[in-house]
């Protein structure tokens, strides 16, 4: 349920139209199942389509791109807003803590995936990074069940290896106990410096360093809009707390595909 007043949305849109460098921080909430528009009621209409008509095999056969886009709705809305901002000569950047690759797939160009990406692999020998959409990523995983505790360990030679240099591959993800890569930290710092409007979407704001960005910006009096179905530690310092699902609020706030 969205409990946001129309007046606040209009106020936010005025700020947005005056902003020159918008920065959006996203977390797991933007990809949550609940972020997909509801299937019934007013929120169940996307563009001119009913959600119940899109979530069907025949809709997918007719227009796979449309159906994919429907499931990427909040991500696509951000990608469309970026295009519009760029046309106006303004900056629009997304920093995500998510590793699901959905912003990239939706077409966001100015993207910092601060915790990495599930579909990227890295060589353990030389740190070379490349895309890998293989599923399963290698033959040895084909018949494995994750719940089976008694599965024997897979021999290292059967794990994913680089086809060129043969070194073992690892997911390009920042694991617990590892530091965020220096080049990523530098890019984030630059965006924080330039930002004049900050959106915090679908993150619990408890995991650092991302959880600290709102307070850095609040100290500089940069307006902050939080979009979440709950309150978080960022709520008290945010200029606006838009309470509701990202899939509904992002397009509404950014004036993208409003039905
Ligand atoms: N719309 C908006 N917000 C939502 C929605 C939705 N549809 N569904 C859930 N949320 C909100 C929840 O209320 C919660 O505040 O998304 C947030 C998800 O919080 P977390 O699960 O803690 O995810 P996140 O903040 O991205 O986690 C940060 O922690 O575990 C590490 O590295 C991992 O990147 C992750 C980091």
Contact 253, 77 (CB under 8 A): no
Please check whether residues 140 and 105 belong to one and the same domain: no
Helix residue ranges per DSSP H, 63-164: 64-71, 73-87, 102-106
204-230: b (≥16 Cβ within 10 Å) or e: ebeeeebbebbeebbeeebbbbbbbbe
Q: Which residue has the tokens 């100015």?
A: 110
The yes-or-no answer on residue 161 being catalytic is no
Residue nearest ligand 1's atom 23 by CA? 28
Q: Which of 72, 75, 103, 115 is catalytic?
A: 115
Same domain (yes/no): 50, 103: yes
| Among 152, 173, 194, residue at a domain's last position | 173
194 and 71 within one domain:
yes
What's the CA gap between 65 and 71, in Å, rounded?
10
Which alpha helices (DSSP H) does 55-177 contain, by range? 57-62, 64-71, 73-87, 102-106
Contact between 35 and 246 (Cβ < 8 Å): yes
- pLDDT score for 39: 46
Structural domains counted in the chain: 2
Domain that residue 153 falls in = 117-173
Please indicate if the annotation marks 45 as binding a ligand. yes
Whether residues 65 and 156 share a domain: the answer is no
The number of beta carbons lying within 10 Å of the beta carbon of residue 246 is 29
CA of 28 to the centre of ligand 1 (A): 4
List the chain pLDDT tens, one digit each, 259 residues: 445 666 799 999 999 999 999 999 999 888 874 344 444 454 455 666 776 677 678 877 887 777 766 666 788 889 999 999 999 999 999 999 998 888 998 899 999 999 999 889 998 877 788 888 877 787 887 777 665 667 778 888 888 888 888 889 999 999 888 999 999 999 999 999 999 999 999 999 999 999 999 999 999 999 999 999 899 999 999 999 999 888 778 988 998 643 3
**Which residue minimizes the CA distance to atom 1 of ligand 1?**
245
DSSP 8-state assignment for residue 230: S
> Domain holding 101: CATH number?
3.40.50.1220
Same domain, yes or no, for 97 and 207?
Answer: yes
Task: Please indicate if the annotation marks 140 as binding a ligand.
Answer: no
Q: What is the pTM of this model?
A: 0.85
Q: Are residues 124 and 67 in the same domain?
A: no
Same domain, 162 and 185: no
Report the separation in Å between the CA atom of 236 and the middle of ligand 1, taken as the mean of its atom positions.
17
d(CA 194, CA 239): 18
pLDDT of residue 162: 86
């Amino acid at each position: 349920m969205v409990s946001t007043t129309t007046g606040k949305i209009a106020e936010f849109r005025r700020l947005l139209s005056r902003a020159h460098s918008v920065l959006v921080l996203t977390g797991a909430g933007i990809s949550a199942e609940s972020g997909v528009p509801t299937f019934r009621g007013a929120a169940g209409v996307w563009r001119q389509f009913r959600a119940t008509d899109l979530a069907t095999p025949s809709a997918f056969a007719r227009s796979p791109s449309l159906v994919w886009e429907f499931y990427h709705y909040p991500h696509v809305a951000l990608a469309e807003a970026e295009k519009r901002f760029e046309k106006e000569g303004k900056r629009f950047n997304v920093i995500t803590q998510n590793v699901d690759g959905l912003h990239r797939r939706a077409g966001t160009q100015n993207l910092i995936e601060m915790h990495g990406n599930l579909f990227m692999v890295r060589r353990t020998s030389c740190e070379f990074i490349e895309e890998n959409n293989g599923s399963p990523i290698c033959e040895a995983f084909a018949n494995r069940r994750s719940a089976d505790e008694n599965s024997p360990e897979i021999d290292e030679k059967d794990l994913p290896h680089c086809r060129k240099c043969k070194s073992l591959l690892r997911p390009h993800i920042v694991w617990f106990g590892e530091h965020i890569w220096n080049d990523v930290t530098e890019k984030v710092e630059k965006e924080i410096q330039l930002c004049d409007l900050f959106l915090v979407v679908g993150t619990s704001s408890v995991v650092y360093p991302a959880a600290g960005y709102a307070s850095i910006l609040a100290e500089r009096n940069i307006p902050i809009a939080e979009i979440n179905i709950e309150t978080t530690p960022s709520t008290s310092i945010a200029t606006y707390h838009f309470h509701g699902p990202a899939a509904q609020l992002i397009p509404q706030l950014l004036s993208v595909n409003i039905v």
